């Protein structure tokens, strides 16, 4: 581990951070072989801010082949773009050769890259000043674009000419807002102006790249910065379903997103909560359509849609009714729905005691093991067939009637009782 100290022209500030020993090992191994190597980008930014970095990326003058020759276990993560993952025990670290980027395409990477021997060139290709700093023990912080100053001023500013940088890769426009939401920073004036001018180019950016940034924004402390993205013109292009809402509704869904659990389905559901007022479509269907378009995974799509479908369900303390509701919403979904509902009630200034009570009753029902689905019914389809019930539609109807009976009266969930009931239905 190592500490660092930064000396600036006018003021002396001390900022210490520690880099993981495995990162040091990689840097030292590359240096011992005669190459340059630095921790770079987000990890330097986060370490300076006292945040825990997501991952530690390393930039080096060594080519991918040279990196591979120095470490036992490596993965060719993006070799054409200069990235090799070095594996140390179970941890992987991306080591990328200093490079200059060509034009960005729809993927994660630019269409073509040129390797370079200059760290400065590599830092120049990066999006924002706060993301364009490098660090190693020997040289301390390499900060050519005053990233440290911008961290102190709490601003997001492009490296170089903002217009050119956004023109090269429009995703950076959305990234500016994402970092602003994660860090609570403002966007510098020229950067904001250029972002507005070029936001329309986000049309050309792939859904995968867009949802990666949206996801990070929604999981940040400021999911409500969707409104910042909107003011820049981003939402009109990538999420018109949000853009068309009134200022009041946007403020409400932002507050709801902040109030509800920091999970993607909840946060997406919050953002689309008021969308029903702007189209004929049910918000649950809007969520499905929008999140499919953004190419989110099925679990996120289905859960967000489920929260919107059932979010406004009846709040009750009647246990039978609650068992029916658990059956209709599907297993433990109800707990998530009620959490979401509590956030909604809080947002509109209501007491949440009733929602909490229903939540507790649900938990009690789960703990007691009451039958709340066909799979927990004390009689099976096979057993009904043995009793002479024909397989098919009638079987389905009988099972369903038995389940309804058991949801009302859990004590009826007994094979003998249910066989009698089944025969009664069959003979009626
Ligand atoms: P996070 O903590 O979310 O991982 P990060 O800063 O590490 O944030 P990444 O998307 O992982 O962001 O990118 C790593 C680094 O690569 C950035 O810090 C930045 O220097 C550079 N970078 C990433 N995407 C771009 C881009 N589209 N244009 C220019 N530079 C980029
Ligand atoms: Mg990163």
pLDDT in tens, 75-129: 999 998 999 999 999 999 999 999 998 776 654 567 778 999 999 999 999 999 9
Whether 14 has a pLDDT exceeding 70, the answer reads: no
Whether 424 has a pLDDT exceeding 80, the answer reads: yes
Residue 223 confidence (pLDDT): 96
Give CA–CA dist 426/43, Å, rounded: 68
Query: Residues 329-340: what's their mean pLDDT?
Result: 96
- Which residue has a Cα nearest atom 16 of ligand 1? 41
Which residues approach ligand 1 with their CB closer than 6 A?
Answer: 41-42, 54, 57, 126-127, 131-132, 169, 171-172, 216
- Which residue has a Cα nearest atom 5 of ligand 1? 42
Query: Residues 374-380: what's their mean pLDDT?
Result: 91
Q: How far is the CA of 356 from the centre of ligand 1 (A)?
A: 41
80 HSE (CA, 13 A, CB side)? 6
Q: Which of the four pLDDT bands, split at 50, 70 and 90, describes residue 229?
A: very high
- Which residue has a Cα nearest atom 28 of ligand 1? 127
Q: Write down the residue that tokens 């903002």 correspond to.
A: 162
Q: Name which of 137-146, 206-215, 318-327 the model is least confident about.
A: 137-146
Give a three-class secondary structure readout of 33-96: CCCCEEEECHHHHHHHHCCCCCCCEEEECCCHHHHHHHCCCEEEEEHHHCEEEEEECCEEEEEE
Q: Which of the four pLDDT bands, split at 50, 70 and 90, describes residue 295?
A: very high
Q: Which of 38, 46, 44, 48 is nearest to 15 (CA)?
A: 48
Residue 187 confidence (pLDDT): 98
Phi, psi of 135 (to 5 degrees): -145, 135
Q: Which of the four pLDDT bands, split at 50, 70 and 90, describes residue 15?
A: low
∠ Cα 74 80 83 (to 5°): 40
- Which residue has a Cα nearest atom 9 of ligand 1? 42
Question: Mean of the per-residue pLDDT values for the chain?
Answer: 93
Whether 268 has a pLDDT exceeding 90, the answer reads: yes
Query: Residues 394-412: what's their mean pLDDT?
Result: 93
Q: Which of the four pLDDT bands, split at 50, 70 and 90, describes residue 3?
A: very low
Q: Per the structure block, which two tokens stand in for 254?
A: 């932002």
Q: How far is the CA of 47 from the centre of ligand 2 (A)?
A: 12
Whether 293 has a pLDDT exceeding 60, the answer reads: yes
Residue 105 confidence (pLDDT): 63
Report CA-CA distances (Å) from 283 to 151, 291, 329: 39, 12, 16
Q: Which of 311, 218, 230 is nearest to 258 (CA)?
A: 218
Residue 367 confidence (pLDDT): 96
Residue 1 confidence (pLDDT): 41
Q: Per the structure block, which two tokens stand in for 334?
A: 């109800």
Residue 115 confidence (pLDDT): 95
Q: Which of the four pLDDT bands, split at 50, 70 and 90, describes residue 388?
A: confident
Q: Answer with the residue of higher pLDDT: 113 or 64.
A: 64
Q: Name which of 17-21, 24-28, 119-123, 251-255 the model is least confident about.
A: 17-21
Query: Residues 131-154: what's their mean pLDDT?
Result: 95
H or E stretch at 142: strand 140-142
For helices 353-368 and 319-329, give the axis angle rounded to 10 degrees.
Answer: 80
Q: Which of the four pLDDT bands, split at 50, 70 and 90, describes residue 12?
A: very low
Q: How far is the CA of 21 from the centre of ligand 2 (A)?
A: 18
Note the ligand closest to the C-alpha atom of 101. 1
Whether 9 has a pLDDT exceeding 80, the answer reads: no
Radius of gyration of the chain (CA): 28
Q: How far is the CA of 42 from the centre of ligand 2 (A)?
A: 6
Whether 375 has a pLDDT exceeding 60, the answer reads: yes
Q: Which of the four pLDDT bands, split at 50, 70 and 90, describes residue 11?
A: very low
Q: How far is the CA of 93 from the centre of ligand 1 (A)?
A: 14
Query: Residues 248-275: what's their mean pLDDT?
Result: 97
Q: Per the structure block, which two tokens stand in for 303?
A: 């859960």
Q: Which of 58, 71, 167 is nearest to 119 (CA)?
A: 58
Residue 60 confidence (pLDDT): 98
Q: Which of the four pLDDT bands, split at 50, 70 and 90, describes residue 7?
A: very low
Question: Are the C-beta atoms of residues 211 and 295 closer than 8 Å to each other?
Answer: yes
Q: Write down the residue that tokens 């090992």 correspond to.
A: 25
Residue 391 confidence (pLDDT): 84
Give CA–CA dist 138/240, Å, rounded: 49
């Amino acid at each position: 581990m190592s500490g660092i100290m930064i000396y600036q022209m006018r003021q002396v500030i001390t900022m210490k951070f520690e880099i993981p020993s495995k990162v040091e090992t990689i840097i030292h191994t590359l240096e011992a072989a005669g190459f340059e190597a630095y921790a770079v980008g987000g990890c330097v930014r986060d370490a300076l801010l006292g945040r825990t970095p997501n991952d530690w990326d390393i930039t080096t003058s060594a080519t991918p082949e040279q990196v591979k020759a120095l470490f036992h276990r490596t993965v060719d993560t993006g070799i054409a773009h200069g990235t090799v993952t070095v594996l140390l025990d179970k941890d992987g670290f991306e080591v990328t050769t200093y490079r200059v980027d060509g034009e960005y395409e729809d993927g994660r990477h630019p269409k073509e890259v040129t390797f370079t021997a200059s760290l400065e060139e590599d830092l120049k290709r990066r999006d924002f000043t706060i993301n364009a700093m490098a660090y190693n023990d020997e040289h301390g912080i390499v900060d050519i674009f005053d990233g440290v100053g911008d961290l102190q001023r709490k601003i997001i500013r492009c490296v170089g000419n903002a217009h050119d940088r956004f023109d090269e890769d429009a995703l950076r426009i959305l990234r500016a807002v994402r970092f602003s939401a994660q860090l609570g920073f403002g966007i510098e004036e020229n950067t904001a102006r250029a972002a507005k001018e070029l936001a329309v180019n986000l049309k050309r950016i792939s859904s995968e790249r867009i949802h990666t940034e949206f996801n990070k924004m929604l999981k940040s402390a400021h999911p409500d910065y969707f409104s910042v993205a909107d003011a820049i013109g981003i939402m009109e292009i990538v999420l018109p379903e949000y853009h068309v809402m009134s200022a009041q509704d946007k403020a409400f869904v932002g507050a709801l997103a902040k109030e509800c659990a920091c999970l993607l389905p909840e946060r997406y559901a919050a953002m689309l909560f008021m969308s029903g007022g702007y189209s004929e479509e049910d918000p649950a269907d809007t969520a499905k359509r929008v999140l499919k378009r953004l190419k989110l995974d099925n679990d996120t799509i289905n859960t967000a849609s489920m929260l919107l479908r059932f979010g406004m369900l009846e709040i009750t303390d009647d246990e039978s009714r609650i068992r029916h509701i658990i059956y209709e919403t599907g297993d433990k979904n109800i707990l998530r729905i009620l959490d979401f509902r509590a956030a909604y009630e809080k947002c509109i200034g209501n007491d949440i005691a009733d929602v909490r009570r229903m939540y507790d009753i649900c938990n009690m029902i789960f703990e007691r093991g009451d039958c709340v689905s066909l799979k927990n019914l004390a009689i099976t389809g096979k057993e009904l067939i043995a009793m002479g019930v024909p397989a098919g539609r009638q079987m389905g109807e009988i099972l369903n009637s038995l389940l309804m009976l058991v949801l009302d009266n859990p004590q009826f969930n007994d094979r003998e009782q249910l066989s009698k009931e089944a025969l009664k239905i069959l003979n009626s």
